[in-house]
């Protein structure tokens, strides 16, 4: 059974590149373009009793930003799923805000594929 990862990012280009790196490494990928869509996908997975092994989310998105999304995920059934923030934001205050919301890790864009896979392997066993 492949490990399933949810990517939440408003950039179709970024979702495509992360999707390519992860599927190439044998992961199953589900995609959402903002936090609200990400929560909808998690609700559907819950209903079908499917699990998710990791979430990778951007911070700056329309409709629902990444920090709000992380806080919402941490309130529910998927609260123990590791969440990696993948963003252009690199300032410490933002990182602290992400950590306080419940993010497990932080990776700054642009990323190197091997760097992303190393982080994913650390969280997904």
| pLDDT tens digit sequence for 4-46 | 999 999 999 999 999 999 999 999 999 999 999 999 999 999 9
- Tell me the C-alpha to C-alpha distance, in Å, between residue 57 and each of 13, 48, 81, 90: 14, 22, 12, 14
For tokens 């864009």, the residue is 109
pLDDT score recorded for residue 1: 66
CA angle 66, 62, 24 (to 5 degrees): 60
* pLDDT at 2 > cutoff 90: no
**Domain 4-123 adopts which CATH fold?**
Rossmann fold (3.40.50)
Domain ranges of the chain: 4-123
pLDDT score recorded for residue 124: 93
pLDDT in tens, 49-66: 889 999 999 999 999 999
């Amino acid at each position: 059974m492949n490990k399933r990862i949810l990517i939440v990012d408003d950039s179709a280009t970024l979702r495509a590149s992360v999707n390519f790196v992860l599927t190439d490494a044998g992961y199953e990928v589900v995609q959402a373009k903002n936090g609200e869509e990400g929560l909808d996908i998690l609700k559907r997975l819950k209903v079908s009793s499917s699990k998710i092994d990791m979430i990778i989310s951007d911070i700056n998105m329309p409709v629902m930003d990444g920090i709000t999304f992380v806080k919402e995920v941490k309130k529910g059934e998927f609260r123990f799923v590791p969440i990696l923030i993948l963003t252009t934001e690199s300032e410490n205050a933002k990182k602290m805000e992400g950590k306080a919301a419940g993010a497990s890790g932080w990776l700054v864009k642009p990323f190197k594929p091997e760097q992303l896979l190393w982080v994913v392997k650390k969280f997904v066993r």
